[in-house]
């Protein structure tokens, strides 16, 4: 048995190197292609990073170019050491024509950045991109960005947008060409149309201390979407958000999917966040549920690191709670691998989607899948549109099953998403930032040195 | 020096109620609560029980929470006399020992967190998260003032200028008997805080809890006595106006610590200013009174953030926090969107009993409050556009539907008077300066809010705002001990900051001693 882990480790290294070699060479690194040097600056300077994100965040709320420029210079005002380019920007803020030019440049920059992450204003506008991805051997999951839901009317509107998106996607994907790798695994056929939804948008009543309220309110809307997805043969994936709503979301989805009418379909999925210290217990809950809830199409579990790390840490610290997420990146990475192993071994009880931009985590999943004797089609890899494009293409080129998570929505709705992604990926310990700054491959592929077994 | 030094202050963590296991703990606390409580007039070791005063569950008025004696003017005088007699010994107790007693009282409360929260749920209809926070705040006050008193009185005092031949010292001595007149809306935290401030600095105290919350008042005194505060140093006077008035006009009361309505507070200030024959001290009043708290929403605000924060500020605990938001002053470009989304948010609020974790808006504290708020709601319906909760309202109990009113005439009483209930008004403004003008026109200045993402706007409003506590891009409620010292300006209070570094200065008198150290030309 002693050679088992060593063999796995060797395989991870081999797979990782091969995958790295498959990265498209014509392009630079994803962060570099954002051409904004601002992003690079932001990753190195916390004050600049804050100023940039505050600006991105407020762009849709500004009433004029002048207003935009006033905000931008207001944020830059709070940055201690300004590089020359920003000092020039500050000077432009002194005159009215200067502000107009600065506001226009700032807005254009943000719009440009947004378009890398957001594939269109609505699903119809996104179809061109989706078709191109499909041709490039990449499936998609569409996520509808929107304002926060604070009223029942807003929840209804979001549900209606989801219903419309399902129809549009199902009709469009039907016309796409055959693609065996993306359409079958060992269990059976995989839906082409795939929509990700958020429970927080399906109800204004998510209350951390009363999960049943949000569940009760969201259930009818989610049930209608499940029925429609079943009818259209589409996949519905329910996203996970912050820990405040985890209990509500997970219970709601598992309860609804256990209703007899959904035993035969649709294909549906949940998300497991590896940064949560108790994610192993959450996986226990999911697997126990799967054991007693036979489904024609097994539940898809999308494994992610988790996108609300800063929020979880700040909230816990403010309240004096123990921090619910791993605070060391290596611990989180090690947990991700442990969860990957459990999920892959749990098949065919569940289907598995590994959603990570971390080359090591991805290589680990591929190597483990191979060692379990499963086919590449039996595990899905997911990347984020705009950030994981190169990895996605490399995976597809390596004959693996890939899906890109594609946010759709207008600029107003997109900013919160954009800020979260930028925050996540300019963090000091971000894999993409490491990669962008030339951290050597062996270091990128090194096994996570966990402080203890998670 | 006695004992080991206290570890640095940290806030008592509220329960993590997003976890089912934590919610279950509170349910156990409620199950273990044995009601009704019997609340005596408690002076030294003497307990006079009675049933003149009864507190009931605002959500189910037939449920009696506490049966209390109601203190008479004579009993108030007896309590002051006992406290005065105990003053010398307690004042002479080393500050570390006094502080240790408060810390033990905090531990007593910590062991009973669930049952104390349950009592606040029953007696004052505080929903669980707020009831739990109330207990935590009571613990915080005990721990915080224990440390602050050591800081104030435990060392050499502030440094004064010293020249050869003299030694100058500034010390802070307790003032005497402190009458604590407490409100019902933070039925554990506020009486504990005011009493702890008095006791920590070496004063003795007489606590008159709100007539709506004698049960919580009993628990406060039990905690202090269990912690080691001598029985004579802290008396409990449950009762209504009579006991309070008798305390306020008593010659031997050195300090009145009050939190409550503006009308009562001004009466106390007048009464305290009237020096009684034979009085040997001016009565000092530390008063926290009402407000008319405004939230300014500028054109660059993120309504996704602002709306939930406004709803929380205005409607949690049915708007019955001193810090609750009453008026929203919103940039005209966002007015209609804000009103529409607020109306939708308010329509979804669940009105219900405080012990239901799903409740957003509990009942108001008593029938009189219900009638008062309903009168204002009627006025809003007659003179403006209103939107209100859509859900069912339990028939039994002092429930009021939450309401948002807009389009009111500029001179409407709704924009001026403190309603202290789940009623919020919205007005459009041309710009932030017009909003600041309206805030500035008010005679009260307790809390305020601002939603803006422009740092220069924030700085501008900060400079113009008269309020005691201004909250930027967050709710206006939920001040934490040590983090947001709390209290209002103008007619909202005496400008004192509960839970802040200088609060204890109001409970002491400064004494400077200058000693000549020269004798026959020799410095000794």
Chain B residues close to A207, C-beta within 8 Å: 357-358, 360
Task: Using the predicted structure, report yes or no on whether residue A39 has a pLDDT greater than 70.
Answer: no
φ/ψ of B474, rounded to 5, equals -165, 170
In this prediction, residue A5 carries a pLDDT of: 72
Chain B residues close to A63, C-beta within 8 Å: 299-300, 333
CB contact under 8 A, A152 and B341: no
Interface subset of B 351-380, CB within 8 angstroms of A: 356-358, 360
Q: In whole angstroms, give the CA distance from residue B186 to residue B135.
A: 9
Return the SS3 of B383. helix
Shortest alpha-carbon distance between residue B320 and chain A (Å): 21
In this prediction, residue A114 carries a pLDDT of: 83
- What's the token pair of residue B61? 């008025």
Which residue, among B163, B166, B160, has the nearest Cα to B517 in the 3D structure? Answer: B166
Q: Among partner residues A62, A71, A150, which is closest to B341 by beta-carbon distance?
A: A150
Contact A279, A331 (CB under 8 A): no
CB contact under 8 A, B18 and A243: yes
Shortest alpha-carbon distance between residue B424 and chain A (Å): 17
Q: Among partner residues A148, A150, A207, which is closest to B358 by beta-carbon distance?
A: A207
Give the residue from chain A lying closest to B20, CA to CA.
A209
Q: Among partner residues B129, B345, B360, which is closest to A150 by beta-carbon distance?
A: B345
Give the residue from chain B lying closest to A148, CA to CA.
B304
In this prediction, residue B391 carries a pLDDT of: 77
Chain A residues close to B304, C-beta within 8 Å: 147-148, 150, 416
Mean pLDDT of A121-130: 93
Report yes or no: B483 at the A interface, CB cutoff 8 Å.
no
Report yes or no: B350 at the A interface, CB cutoff 8 Å.
yes
Give the residue from chain A lying closest to B12, CA to CA.
A320
Mean pLDDT of A265-287: 98
* Percent of chain A's residues with pLDDT above 70: 93
Chain B residues close to A212, C-beta within 8 Å: 358
Q: In whole angstroms, give the CA distance from residue B414 to residue A178.
A: 67
SS3 per residue for B24-91:
HHHHHHHHHCCCCEEECEEECCEEECCCCEEEEECCEEEEEEEEECCCCHHHHHHHHHHHHHHHHHHH
Distance of CA A162 to CAs A134, A195, B349, Å? Answer: 21, 8, 25
In this prediction, residue A34 carries a pLDDT of: 44
- What's the token pair of residue B480? 């934490």
Task: Using the predicted structure, report yes or no on whether residue A146 has a pLDDT greater than 90.
Answer: no
Contact B102, B199 (CB under 8 A): yes
Mean pLDDT of A38-53: 76
Q: In whole angstroms, give the CA distance from residue B318 to residue B346.
A: 12
Give the residue from chain B lying closest to A216, CA to CA.
B358
Q: Which residue of the set B12, B211, B288, B312 is catalytic?
A: B288
> Would you place residue A401 in the very low, low, confident or very high pLDDT band (cuts 50, 70, 90)?
very high
CB contact under 8 A, B453 and A208: no
CB contact under 8 A, A71 and B17: no
Chain B residues close to A209, C-beta within 8 Å: 17-18, 23, 128-129, 357
> Would you place residue A428 in the very low, low, confident or very high pLDDT band (cuts 50, 70, 90)?
low
The question of ipTM being above 0.85 is answered as yes
Read off the pLDDT of residues A341-374 as tens digits, 9 standing for 90 and up: 999 999 999 999 999 999 999 999 999 999 999 9
Chain A residues close to B12, C-beta within 8 Å: 320
Report yes or no: B394 at the A interface, CB cutoff 8 Å.
no
Residue for token digits 């062996």?
Answer: A442
Of the residues A59, A60, A61, A419, the best mutation for testing chain B's interface (the one with the most B CB atoms within 10 Å of its CB) is A61
Q: Among partner residues A57, A77, A319, which is closest to B14 by beta-carbon distance?
A: A319
Query: What count of other Cβ atoms lies within 10 Å of the Cβ of residue A320?
Result: 13
Return the SS3 of B326. strand
Q: In whole angstroms, give the CA distance from residue B293 to residue B489.
A: 12
Chain B residues close to A67, C-beta within 8 Å: 299-300
Average pLDDT, chain A: 90
Shortest alpha-carbon distance between residue A289 and chain B (Å): 19
Which residue, among B220, B235, B148, B147, has the nearest Cα to B183 in the 3D structure? Answer: B220
Shortest alpha-carbon distance between residue A267 and chain B (Å): 29
CB contact under 8 A, A77 and B455: yes
Whether B137 is a known active-site residue: answer no
- The set of residues, in sequence order, having a beta carbon less than 8 Å from that of A452 and lying 6+ positions away, is A331
In this prediction, residue A27 carries a pLDDT of: 52
CB contact under 8 A, B16 and A319: yes
Report yes or no: B155 at the A interface, CB cutoff 8 Å.
no
Report yes or no: B443 at the A interface, CB cutoff 8 Å.
no
Give the residue from chain A lying closest to B454, CA to CA.
A71
Provide long-range contacts, Cβ within 8 A and 24+ apart, for B517-524: B517/B165, B517/B166, B517/B167, B518/B165, B518/B166, B523/B164, B523/B165
Read off the pLDDT of residues A433-446 as tens digits, 9 standing for 90 and up: 777 777 889 999 99
Give the residue from chain A lying closest to B358, CA to CA.
A210
Q: Among partner residues A74, A212, A213, which is closest to B454 by beta-carbon distance?
A: A74
Q: In whole angstroms, give the CA distance from residue B475 to residue B498.
A: 19
Distance of CA A15 to CAs A79, A371, A378, Å? Answer: 43, 12, 17
Distance of alpha carbon A156 from its chain centroid, rounded? 24
Distance of alpha carbon A192 from its chain centroid, rounded? 19
pTM for the whole structure: 0.95
Which residue, among B199, B245, B247, B203, has the nearest Cα to B220 in the 3D structure? Answer: B199
Chain B residues close to A312, C-beta within 8 Å: none
Q: Which residue of the set B178, B294, B322, B436 is catalytic?
A: B322
Give the residue from chain A lying closest to B341, CA to CA.
A151
Contact B468, B493 (CB under 8 A): yes
Q: Among partner residues A57, A152, A416, which is closest to B348 by beta-carbon distance?
A: A152
Task: Using the predicted structure, report yes or no on whether residue A31 has a pLDDT greater than 80.
Answer: no
Whether B123 is a known active-site residue: answer no
Of the residues B14, B20, B126, B300, the best mutation for testing chain A's interface (the one with the most A CB atoms within 10 Å of its CB) is B300
Residue for token digits 């935009």?
Answer: A68
Q: Among partner residues B11, B307, B341, which is closest to A320 by beta-carbon distance?
A: B11
Q: Is A386 exposed, middle or buried (0-12, 13-18, 19+ CB in 10 A)?
A: buried
> Would you place residue A251 in the very low, low, confident or very high pLDDT band (cuts 50, 70, 90)?
very high
pLDDT in tens, chain B (524 residues): 444 689 999 999 999 999 999 999 999 999 999 999 999 999 999 999 999 999 999 999 999 999 999 999 999 999 999 999 999 999 999 999 999 999 999 999 999 999 999 999 999 999 999 999 999 999 999 999 999 999 999 988 889 999 999 999 999 999 999 999 999 999 999 999 999 999 999 999 999 999 999 999 999 999 999 999 999 999 999 998 899 999 999 999 999 999 999 999 999 999 999 999 999 999 999 999 999 999 999 999 999 999 999 999 999 999 999 999 999 999 999 999 999 999 999 999 999 999 999 999 999 999 999 999 999 999 999 999 999 977 789 989 999 999 999 999 999 999 999 999 999 999 999 999 999 999 999 999 999 999 999 999 999 999 999 999 999 999 999 999 999 999 999 999 999 999 999 999 999 999 999 999 998 888 87
Report yes or no: B302 at the A interface, CB cutoff 8 Å.
yes
Give the residue from chain A lying closest to B347, CA to CA.
A151
Q: In whole angstroms, give the CA distance from residue A166 to residue A225.
A: 8
Q: Among partner residues A61, A67, A321, which is closest to B16 by beta-carbon distance?
A: A321
> Would you place residue A38 in the very low, low, confident or very high pLDDT band (cuts 50, 70, 90)?
low
> Would you place residue A112 in the very low, low, confident or very high pLDDT band (cuts 50, 70, 90)?
confident
> Would you place residue A35 in the very low, low, confident or very high pLDDT band (cuts 50, 70, 90)?
very low
Q: Among partner residues A61, A148, A208, which is closest to B453 by beta-carbon distance?
A: A61
Distance of alpha carbon A117 from its chain centroid, rounded? 11
Q: In whole angstroms, give the CA distance from residue A403 to residue A137.
A: 9
Q: In whole angstroms, give the CA distance from residue B281 to residue B87.
A: 15
Which residue, among B262, B342, B312, B336, has the nearest Cα to B471 in the 3D structure? Answer: B312
Cβ pairs bridging A and B (under 8 Å) = 93
CB contact under 8 A, B455 and A61: no
């Amino acid at each position: 048995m002693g050679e088992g882990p060593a063999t796995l480790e060797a395989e991870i290294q081999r797979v990782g190197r091969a995958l790295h070699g498959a990265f498209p060479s014509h392009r630079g690194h994803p962060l570099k292609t954002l051409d904004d040097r601002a992003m690079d600056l932001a990753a190195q300077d916390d004050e600049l990073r804050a100023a940039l994100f505050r600006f991105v965040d407020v762009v849709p709320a500004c009433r004029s170019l002048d207003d935009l420029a006033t905000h931008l210079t207001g944020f830059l005002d709070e940055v201690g050491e300004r590089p020359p380019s920003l000092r020039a920007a500050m000077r432009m803020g002194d005159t009215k024509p200067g502000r107009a030019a600065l506001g226009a440049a700032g807005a254009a920059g943000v719009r440009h950045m947004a378009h890398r992450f957001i594939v269109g204003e609505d699903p119809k506008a996104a179809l061109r991109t989706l078709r191109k991805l499909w041709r490039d051997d990449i499936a998609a999951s569409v996520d509808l960005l929107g304002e926060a839901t604070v009223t029942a009317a807003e929840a209804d509107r979001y549900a209606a947008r989801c219903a419309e998106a399902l129809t549009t996607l199902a009709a469009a994907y039907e016309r796409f060409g055959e693609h065996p790798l993306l359409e079958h695994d060992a269990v059976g056929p995989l839906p082409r149309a795939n929509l990700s939804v958020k429970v927080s948008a399906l109800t204004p009543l998510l209350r951390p201390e009363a999960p049943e309220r949000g569940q009760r309110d969201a259930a009818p809307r989610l049930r209608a979407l499940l029925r429609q997805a079943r009818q259209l043969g589409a996949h519905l994936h329910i996203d996970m958000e912050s820990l405040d709503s985890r209990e509500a979301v997970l219970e709601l989805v598992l309860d609804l999917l256990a209703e007899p009418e959904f035993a035969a379909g649709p294909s549906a999925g949940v998300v497991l966040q590896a940064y949560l210290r108790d994610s192993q217990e959450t996986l226990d809950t999911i697997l126990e549920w799967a054991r007693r809830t036979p489904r024609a199409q097994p539940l898809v579990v999308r494994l992610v690191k988790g996108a609300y790390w800063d929020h979880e840490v700040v909230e816990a610290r403010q309240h004096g709670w123990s921090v619910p997420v791993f605070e060391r990146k290596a611990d989180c990475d090690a947990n991700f691998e442990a969860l990957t192993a459990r999920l892959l071994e749990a098949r065919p009880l569940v289907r598995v989607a590994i959603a990570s931009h971390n080359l090591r985590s991805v290589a680990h999943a591929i190597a483990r899948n191979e060692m379990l004797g499963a086919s590449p089609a039996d595990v899905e890899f997911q990347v984020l549109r705009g950030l994981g494009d190169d990895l996605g293409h490399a995976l597809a080129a390596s004959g693996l099953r890939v899906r890109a998570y594609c946010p759709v929505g207008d600029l107003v709705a997109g900013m919160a998403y954009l800020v979260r992604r930028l925050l996540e990926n300019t963090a000091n310990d971000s894999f993409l930032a490491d990669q962008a700054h030339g951290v050597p491959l062996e270091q990128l592929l090194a096994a996570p040195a966990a402080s203890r077994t998670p | 020096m006695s004992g080991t030094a206290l570890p640095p202050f940290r806030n008592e963590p509220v329960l993590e109620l997003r976890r089912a296991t934590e919610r279950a703990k509170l349910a156990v606390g409620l199950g273990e609560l044995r009601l009704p409580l019997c609340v005596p007039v408690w002076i030294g070791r003497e307990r006079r029980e009675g049933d003149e005063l009864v507190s009931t569950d605002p959500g189910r008025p037939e449920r009696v929470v506490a049966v209390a004696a109601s203190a008479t003017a004579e009993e108030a005088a007896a309590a002051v006399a006992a406290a005065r007699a105990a003053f010398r010994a307690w004042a002479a107790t080393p500050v570390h020992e006094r502080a240790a007693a408060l810390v033990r009282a905090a531990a007593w409360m910590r062991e009973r967190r669930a049952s104390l929260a349950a009592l606040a749920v029953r007696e004052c209809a505080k929903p669980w998260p707020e009831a739990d926070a109330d207990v935590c705040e009571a613990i915080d006050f005990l721990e915080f003032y224990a440390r602050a008193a050591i800081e104030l009185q435990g060392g050499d005092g502030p440094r004064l200028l010293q020249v050869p031949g003299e030694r100058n010292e500034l010390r802070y001595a307790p003032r005497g008997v402190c009458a604590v007149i407490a409100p019902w809306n933070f039925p554990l935290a506020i009486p504990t805080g005011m009493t702890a401030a008095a006791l920590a600095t070496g004063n003795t105290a007489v606590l008159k809890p709100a007539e709506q919350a004698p049960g919580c008042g009993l628990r406060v005194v039990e905690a202090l006595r269990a912690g080691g505060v001598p029985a004579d140093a802290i008396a409990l006077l449950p009762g209504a106006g009579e006991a309070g008035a008798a305390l306020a006009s008593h010659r031997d009361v050195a300090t009145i610590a009050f939190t409550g309505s503006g009308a009562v507070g001004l009466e106390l200030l007048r009464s305290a200013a009237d020096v009684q024959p034979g009085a040997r001290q001016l009565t000092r009043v530390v008063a926290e009174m009402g407000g008319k708290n405004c939230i300014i929403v500028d054109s660059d605000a993120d309504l996704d953030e602002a709306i939930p924060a406004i709803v929380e500020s205005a409607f949690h605990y049915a708007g019955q926090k001193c810090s609750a938001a009453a008026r929203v002053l919103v940039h005209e470009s966002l007015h209609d969107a804000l009103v529409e989304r607020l109306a939708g948010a308010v329509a979804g609020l669940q009105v219900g009993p405080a012990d239901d974790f799903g409740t957003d808006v509990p009942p108001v504290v008593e029938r009189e409050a219900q009638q008062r708020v309903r009168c204002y709601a009627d006025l809003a319906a007659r003179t403006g556009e209103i939107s209100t909760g859509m859900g069912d309202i339990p028939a039994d109990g002092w429930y009021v539907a939450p309401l948002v009113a807009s389009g009111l005439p500029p001179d409407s009483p709704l924009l001026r008077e403190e309603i202290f209930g789940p009623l919020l008004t919205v007005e459009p403004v041309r710009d932030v300066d017009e909003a600041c003008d309206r805030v500035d026109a008010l005679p009260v200045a307790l809390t305020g809010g601002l939603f803006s993402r422009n740092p220069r706007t924030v700085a501008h409003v900060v400079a113009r705002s008269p309020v005691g506590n201004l909250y930027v891009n967050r709710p206006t409620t939920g001040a934490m001990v040590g983090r947001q010292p709390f209290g209002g300006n103008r007619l909202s209070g005496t400008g004192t900051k509960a839970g802040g570094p200088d609060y204890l200065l109001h409970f002491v008198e400064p004494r400077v001693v200058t000693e000549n150290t020269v004798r026959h030309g020799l410095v000794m």
